[in-house]
Amino acid sequence: MATKGYTQPNCLLKENVLGKVFNIQKFCTSDGPGIRTTVFLKGCPLRCVWCHNPESHSFSDELSYNSDNCISCGRCVMSCPNQCHKIINGGHVFDRNACRSCFRCIQPACKALKRYGYEISADEIIQDAMKDEAFYRNSGGGITLSGGEPFAQPEFCVEILKKAKENGLHTCIETCGHISTDILAQSLDFVDLYLFDYKETDPVKHTEYTGVDNTLILENLRYINSVGKQIILRCPLIPTFNDTKEHFEGIADIANKYANIIKVEIEPYHDFGCNKYEQLGKAINEQIKSIGVSEKTNIEGVLAYIQDKTSKPVIIA
C-alpha cells in the first residue's frame, strides 16, 4: 500500500482527544517487554472465528449478562426504563431485543451485568499509566495498546502514543495489520515495538477465518520492516484451523524475509472467551466450541518445527 501524499503528522499534542476502551490492565508481562499497562481499545475490522474478546468487535458500548452470577435480587428490574429485565417464577429473564443500552441496570450489587466500553481521554490514560512509572523503569516496561484493533480509532490511538513518548514511556502496539498504511505511518515516530498478528498464510483461508484477505496485512508488515521498526510476529495457533505445516512454514518464511522481525511468538488457543459470546448475545462459531481443551496442538512440536526453519527465536507467548 503506497503512502503517496503522506506528510509528517503534526506532533503538537492535542488536549482531550477521546476514544473508547473496554479494559485497562495493569502489571501485564505478556504484551511487550517488562511490566506494562495494556489498554484495550474498542472496534475491530476483523471477525476472527476464534476471537476470545468479542466485546472488542463493536465501537459501541455493550451490555453483558452472566446468568451464573445472577441472584435474582430484582435491582435491574426496578432500574430499567424499558422493562428488559423481569423476575419470572423466581428466575431472571433478560429481553436483549428491548434493551436500548442505557446501562441503568448496572448497579454495584448486580454482579451478573457488566458494561463493556467507556469513553476516556488520552490524557487520562497516560495519567493513570504514569502511576506505575517506577515499575516500567525498573523492568524495561511501558504501555501497550491492544484491542480490538487500536488503529481502528486512529486519532485516539496515535495521541496516546504521542503522549506516552512525551512522558518517556516505552510503547508497543498490537495490530492485526488490516489498516490504512497512511494511518500506520502516523504512528512510526511514537512506537518502539509493533506486535504484529500473523493469523494464516493462505489468503483464501485467511478470508474464511477472519472476514478479510491478507493482502493489505502483508503490505503493512513489509512497510513497517522497510522503515526499520522492530516487530514481534504474533501467531495464534488454532487446532483444526491453522495448525498446518503450510502455515508453520509460512511463519518461518515471513520471519526470515524481514530483518526487523526480532522474534516469533506462538499463541496457543484457549477457550476463556467462549462464554462471552452468549453473555453478549452474539453467535459463536460451532467448530470453535467443539475444539475444547482435549484437542490442544503439540505446542512444543510446533515450536521445534518452525524453529528448525528460522534463526529468529520462536517462543510461546
Assigned domain for 298 exists: yes
- 246 and 169 co-located in one domain: yes
Assigned domain for 3 exists: no
Domain count, the chain: 2
Domain end: 74, 92, 115, which one?
A: 115
- 70 and 162 co-located in one domain: no
Domain end: 78, 99, 115, which one?
A: 115
- 176 and 235 co-located in one domain: yes
Tens digit of each residue's pLDDT (9 = 90 or more) over 14-48: 668 999 999 999 999 999 999 999 999 999 999 99
- 80 and 171 co-located in one domain: no
Contact 234, 48 (CB under 8 A): no
Domain containing residue 82: CATH number: 3.30.70.20
Tell me the CA distances in angstroms from 214 to 30, 202, 210, 211, one per residue in order.
Answer: 25, 8, 9, 10
Domain hosting residue 80, numbered range: 62-115
With residue 146 as reference, give the H or E element that holds it. strand 142-146
- 132 and 164 co-located in one domain: yes
Domain end: 77, 92, 115, which one?
A: 115
**pLDDT in tens for each of the 317 residues of the chain?**
333 332 333 344 566 899 999 999 999 999 999 999 999 999 999 999 999 999 999 999 999 999 999 999 999 999 999 999 999 998 999 999 999 999 999 988 889 999 999 999 999 999 999 999 999 999 999 999 999 999 999 999 999 999 999 999 999 999 999 999 999 999 999 999 999 999 999 999 999 999 999 999 999 999 999 999 999 999 999 998 999 999 999 999 999 999 999 999 999 988 888 999 999 999 998 888 777 553 455 889 999 999 999 999 999 98
DSSP three-state, residue 129: helix
Assigned domain for 96 exists: yes
Q: For residue 146, which amino acid is it?
A: S
Assigned domain for 284 exists: yes
Instruction: Supply φ then ψ for residue 297, to 5 degrees.
Output: -70, 150
- 122 and 55 co-located in one domain: yes
- 152 and 241 co-located in one domain: yes
Residue 174: exposure state from Cβ atoms within 10 A (0-12, 13-18, ≥19): buried
Assigned domain for 240 exists: yes
Separation CA 252–CA 62 (nearest Å): 39
- 184 and 203 co-located in one domain: yes
Concatenating the DSSP letter of every residue in 212-244 gives S-SHHHHHHHHHHHHTT-EEEEEEEE-TTTT-S
Assigned domain for 2 exists: no
Assigned domain for 212 exists: yes
Q: What is the pTM of this model?
A: 0.91
- 149 and 219 co-located in one domain: yes
85-88 and 91-94: which strand pairing? antiparallel
CA atoms within 13 A on the CB side of 82: 13
Domain containing residue 307: CATH number: 3.20.20.70
Assigned domain for 267 exists: yes
- 92 and 195 co-located in one domain: no
Tens digit of each residue's pLDDT (9 = 90 or more) over 172-186: 999 999 999 999 999
- 98 and 190 co-located in one domain: no
- 26 and 82 co-located in one domain: no
The DSSP secondary-structure symbol of 124 reads H
Residues 6+ apart with CB under 8 A from 55: 22, 62, 64, 116, 117, 276, 280
Strands (E), 43-84: 62-65
